[in-house]
Structure 1
Amino acid sequence: MKRFLCFLAFVFAGCGSALAQVPNDPLSWLGRISSAAHKLNYTGTFTYQSGKHVETSRITHLVDANGEYEKLEALDGSPREVVRNNDEVQCFLPEQRLLIVDQFGARRSFPARLPPSPNALAENYRIRKGEVSRIAGMESQQIILEPRDEMRFGHHFWADVASGLLLRARLVGEKGDSIEQFVFTEVQIGAPFDKEKVRSRFTRSSDWKVVNARGNDVRVEDIGWIFRNSIPGFRQVVSVARQARKERGEAYHVVFSDGLAAISVFIEPESGKGVAQSGLSASGSFNIFRRTVSDHRITVLGEVPAQALVRIADGVEMRKR
């Protein structure tokens, strides 16, 4: 333990100063967790589990005066990488010779699961400290967020006591069941800056297809659709238009978030190839609700209870002209 504390003292410029920054109240802990994910250099391996599905990934996150750089590598199944340079995201799928270019979205990835300013979360979640335990060989403080209504799930976070970096995150259902979980199995905090470590190992040649998935920002007021139903605490954070297919016109993607949970609404012209299935379904940790409105397919999905999706979907209407 003495050697471990001395190591922390070297990495974080003094064991005493690191421990002095440890907050007592849970809301301050959330701010510390949020900051650590974006301001620290770290590299490690983590697992993701939802039901019986388990994936292992490796993440490298580096910071300098120009911003954040990150590489996420899938270690199971087909090779794939996600490389981020500040807000630009590139997804490399070498088996399909495909590169998807997108922008950093509203759904937060591990370990950056919290918004930059988490204080507003107290309006929709009861926040308290839990137990101290060891994860990936580090002392971690548990922070528990219990939803104040039935429109969102709960969250359990475990953060490294010394640095504040999130080591484990669990999404909790209405009955206390685990919906999904991220957890580091090993992590190095304070990794030296080496930009080569956040470059893709795949070389894109001329036969690769490049898909721009970023879309064009639009105002909801201008797209011809109305969202009559709202959910307390959720606000619009994304509204973009994309070309669905050449013959089908534009599709819209609108995202509402409370800072943790995100609800995506996709509005697309019907394909004309039969009647698409409506109603509720699920895919992994996501609930999905579909309905048809004015020859358009409305798809609403998110890691939220089904009633939240139904409420949003039932309020989507085409504006009367």
Structure 2
Amino acid sequence: MKNPALPVFLLLVLTFQAVGAEPQSQSYARAYDWLQRIAEAPRQQNYHGTFVYYADGHIETSQITHRVDHDDEYDKIEILDGMARIVYRYNDEMKCYMPGSKKVYTETRWFRKFFPDLLPHPTVRIRDNYKMEVDGQERIAGHDAQMIKLIPKDNLRYGHKFWIDIDSGLLLKAAVTDKEDIVEQYAFAQLKIGKDIDEELLSTESISTQNWKQVDLTTEHLDKGELKWQLEELPAGFEKLAEMRRKLAGKSAMIDHIVLSDDIATVSIFIEPVKTDDTPPVPGFYSSRGAINIYVRELENNKITTVGEVPLNTIKLIGDAVFARK
């Protein structure tokens, strides 16, 4: 089926010899420490490089520049294949430049994940959902890397493999797995870490935006439980992180948005009214790329779109758990 309308950023959204594994308790503690380093490294390191995204036979190459200046962070990500897109981030403010449509989208980063900054700070909940192992060491983009595995304890989530730069803790390669099959993968092909970043690499001055349309994707953050839309029992390990109302690309009205996570995977639920002159939504699963699955249903004249990096059975369980509080 054809993908339903999704947030523009969803488009952005949207190998040394292996050694034997350690005893589980030691391996878990070490793996947890590595996860902490993955989460912290992007806030401590400058880096510039080229990475490749692979999923479903599709390959997409991007160039990223990241600079840390005291408490401030700057990112520039340029997608080099397919439709031209450039994402610029200053702390939590993000701009997405779309030369093809001559539009600039502005929004606040909220649980946005861009390689290599893929993980939040892990909590002990990870132990409940995944077995964690420290595996072998490999060489990725000229850097020595430690590989760790996250093996799901149930069929509600995918497995993960992470290759981490031993010196800096920066994530060099990440793969989402379904049993032994790779669902999607990010990997640096070239990377410099810890060097001074030429400010020209972060500049957007070469992009002429005269006569471009400026689109502000406003977000209104809400307290948990404030939305009319709530969730019944969730799949094990998932918790609600946030509720908000958002302006999405291509939508005239604000849309309700709920975010869930199990500390590794993130799921978003978008709720929007179905107008009388709209084509009724077609319930069911919608194809996507890589680990992202989509499930649509209708409830009380509202379209419920559930999007997340989890298997189909999990995305349906979450989507079907949405109800309207009376």
TM over 0.5: yes
Percent of residue pairs identical: 35
Contact 2:62–2:77, Cα closer than 8 Å, also in 1 = yes
SS in 1 for 2:225: helix
2:226 matches 1:218? no
Alignment of 1:110-189 (within 5 A): 110-173=115-178, 175-189=179-193
Secondary structure of the residue that 1:78 maps to in structure 2?
coil
Match of 2:319 among 299, 313, 316: 313
* Correspondence 1:31 to 2:36: yes
What CA RMSD, in Å, does the superposition of the two structures yield over aligned residues?
2.2
Residues 1:214 and 1:154: Cα distance change in structure 2 (over 3 Å): farther
Moved more, 274-283 or 141-150: 274-283
Give the structure 2 partner of residue 9 of structure 1.
none
Give the structure 2 partner of residue 234 of structure 1: 238
Q: Is the 8 A contact 1:151 1:305 kept in 2?
A: yes
SS at match of 1:237: strand
Which of 294, 297, 301 aligns to 2:303? It is 297
Deviation at 1:54? 0.7
Stretch moving more, 138-147 or 207-216: 207-216
- Kept in 2: contact 1:134–1:140 (CA 8 A): yes
Structure 1 partner of 2:13: none
- In our comparison, the structure showing a higher alpha carbon Rg is 1
Residue 294 to residue 245, structure 1, CA distance change in 2 (3 Å)? farther
- My pick for the range that moved more, 154-163 or 208-217, is 208-217
Task: Label 1:132 to 1:205 Cα distance change in 2 as closer, same or farther (>3 A).
Answer: closer
Task: Using structure 1 for the length normalisation, give the TM-score.
Answer: 0.86
Partners in 2 of 1:157 and 1:257 — Cα distance?
18
Distance 1:305 1:246 in 2: 27
Deviation per residue, 1:40-74 (Å, 9 max, x gap): 01100000001111100001111011311111011
Separation of aligned partners in 2, 1:48 and 1:72 = 13
Instruction: Name the CA shift for 1:130/1:86 in 2 (closer, same or farther; >3 Å).
Output: same
Structure 1 269/135 Cα, relative in aligned 2: closer, same or farther at 3 Å?
same
55-64 vs 278-287, which moves further: 278-287
In the alignment, the residues of structure 2 paired with residue 146 and residue 247 of structure 1 have an alpha-carbon distance, to the nearest angstrom, of: 38
- From the superposition, tell whether residues 195 and 119 of structure 1 become closer, same or farther in structure 2 (CA, over 3 Å): farther
Partner deviation per Cα, 1:253-302 (whole Å, 9 max, x = no partner) = 11101221011101011133332210112211211111110000001011
| Whole-Å separation in 1 of the counterparts to 2:236 and 2:209 | 48
SS at structure 2 position matched to 1:196: helix
Q: Is residue 170–residue 179 contact of structure 1 (8 Å, CA) maintained in 2?
A: yes
Please say if residues 83 and 90 of structure 1, whose CA atoms lie closer than 8 Å, have aligned partners that are also in contact. Answer: yes
Tell me which of 282, 285, 289 is aligned to 2:287: 282
Please name the residue that 2:203 is paired with: 199
- Counterparts in 2 of 1:250 and 1:45: CA distance versus 1, 3 Å: closer
* TM-score, normalisation: structure 2: 0.85
Count of equivalent residues = 297
**What is the Cα deviation at residue 245 of structure 1?**
10
Stretch deviating more after TM superposition (187-196 or 61-70): 187-196
What is the DSSP-based 3-state SS (H/G/I as helix, E as strand, rest coil) of the residue aligned with 2:100?
helix
The amino acid of 1:98's aligned partner reads K
Aligned counterpart, 2:259? 255
Question: Structure 1 CA distance, aligned partners of 2:295 and 2:157?
Answer: 16
CA–CA separation in structure 2 for the residues paired with 1:86 and 1:315: 34
In 2, Cα distance between the equivalents of 1:206 and 1:245? 20
Matched position secondary structure for 1:191: coil
Matching of residue 270 in structure 1 with residue 274 in structure 2: yes
What amino acid is the match of 1:302? G
Cα distance between partner residues in 2 of 1:244 and 1:68: 25
Match of 1:103 in 2: 108
* Bigger share in helix: 1
Q: How does 1:4-43 map to 2 (within 5 A)?
A: 25-43=30-48
Q: List runs of 5+ in structure 2 lacking aligned partners.
A: 1-27
| Residues in 1 aligned to 2:160 and 2:308: alpha-carbon distance in whole angstroms | 15
Partner of 1:14: none
Larger mean CA deviation between 122-131 and 228-237 belongs to 228-237
Distance 1:212 1:249 in 2: 12
Query: 1:130: how far off?
Result: 1.0
Offset at residue 131 of structure 1 (A): 1.1
Residues 46 and 123 from structure 1, CA distance in 2 versus in 1: closer, same or farther, beyond 3 angstroms?
same
In structure 2, C-alpha distance between the alignment counterparts of 1:245 and 1:261, rounded to whole Å: 23
Unmatched 5+ residue regions in structure 1? 1-22
